[in-house]
């Protein structure tokens, strides 16, 4: 159904001071990453504070992205809710709004079994025609999609890939082995993009791609063009930015980084606070070390 690959950053969602979606700022973010050469954009993921958005806000952000991108790259939409019924409803709305694919993280707060997860995704896939990327992020949801469950789901026609943010390379290698070359495997942990490509992965959905899209695209393209040495070098260059995520509560560092880059996206939604002055100065130093355009 698709050939998704490359670097697909999960975009931050800009909000105005009154908490409403800032559509103009979202368009700026999209232009910034598309100009950086990314192979897709991901709306309303964890990085996009989807947990703080209503269904209507998610669809509004998606419609803005579809309009701004104008078919240049695929637009992925995060459509996960806790229950199967809610997720089906939001996924249908994303399909109607023009998404090219959806990405659905495992249910959170509850802890379903592997058979329940299989039934959950099978029901969603049967309700739409859109390509679906599974999304495994056990550190955030407390639920892990096991490789054998993923292999079962990969047999469903419109379940075409997975974003795995576990950071577990052993699991990644096993998923890639079990699911085969027609199933797209994307890592969601920025520190292992190069190892993922080396293991046969399709690309990455890296949060740091909001700030340094060109660097990460170069990392990917270098590997694809037969220069793994340069790819590894760029992976190592990216490391301080990913490590800087610890300067604040996720995703405050990403929003502050874009603000410092001159791509104004405002603040995260409370209870997440903006960075302290000390943390902001440390982040500014990291950004300068990446040889990006001048920061504020």
Please list the active-site residues.
135, 163
User: How many of the other CB atoms lie within 10 Å of CB of 290?
Assistant: 18
Contact 196, 170 (CB under 8 A): no
CB 197 within 8 A of CB 222: no
Torsion from C-alpha of 241, 13, 7, 137, nearest 10 degrees? 80
SS (H, E, C) 57-99: HHHHHHHHHHHHHCCCCCEEEECCCCCHHHHHHHHHHHHHCCC
In whole angstroms, give the CA distance from residue 7 to residue 243. Answer: 19
Terminal CA-CA length for the chain: 44
Parallel, antiparallel, or unpaired: how do β-strands 6-7 and 132-136 relate? unpaired
Q: Are 150 and 178 in contact (CB under 8 A)?
A: yes
The answer for residues whose C-beta is within 8 angstroms of residue 292's C-beta and 6 or more apart is: 211, 212, 215, 261
| Helix H or strand E segment including 174 | helix 169-179
Provide the b/e sequence for 139-158 (b: ≥16 CB within 10 Å).
eebebbbebebbbbbbeeeb
Residues 130 and 159: beta-carbon distance below 8 Å: no
């Amino acid at each position: 159904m698709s050939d998704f690959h490359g670097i697909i950053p999960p975009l931050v969602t800009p909000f105005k001071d009154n908490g409403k979606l800032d559509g103009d700022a979202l368009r700026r973010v999209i232009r910034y990453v598309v100009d950086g050469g990314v192979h897709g954009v991901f709306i309303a993921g964890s990085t996009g504070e989807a947990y703080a958005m209503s269904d209507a806000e998610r669809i509004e952000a998606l419609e803005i992205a579809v309009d701004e991108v104008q078919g240049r790259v695929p637009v992925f939409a995060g459509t996960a809710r806790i229950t199967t019924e809610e997720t089906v409803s939001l996924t249908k709305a994303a399909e109607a709004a023009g998404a090219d694919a959806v990405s659905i993280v495992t249910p959170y707060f509850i802890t379903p079994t592997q058979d329940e997860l299989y039934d959950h995704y099978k029901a969603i896939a049967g309700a739409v025609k859109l390509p679906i990327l599974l999304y495994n992020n056990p550190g955030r949801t407390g639920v892990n999609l096991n490789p054998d469950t993923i292999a079962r789901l990969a047999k469903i026609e419109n379940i075409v890939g997975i974003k795995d943010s576990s950071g577990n390379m052993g699991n990644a290698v096993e998923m890639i082995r079990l699911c085969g070359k027609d199933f797209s495997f994307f890592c969601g942990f920025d520190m292992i993009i190069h190892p993922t490509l080396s293991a046969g992965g399709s690309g990455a959905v890296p949060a740091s791609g909001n700030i340094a899209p060109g660097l990460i695209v170069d990392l990917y393209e270098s590997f694809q063009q037969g220069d793994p040495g340069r790819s590894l070098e760029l992976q190592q260059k990216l490391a301080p930015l990913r490590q800087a995520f610890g300067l604040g509560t996720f995703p405050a560092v990403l929003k502050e980084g874009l603000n410092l880059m001159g791509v104004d996206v405002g603040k995260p939604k409370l209870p997440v606070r903006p960075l302290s002055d000390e943390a902001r100065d440390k982040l500014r130093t990291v950004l300068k070390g990446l040889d990006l355009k001048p920061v504020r």
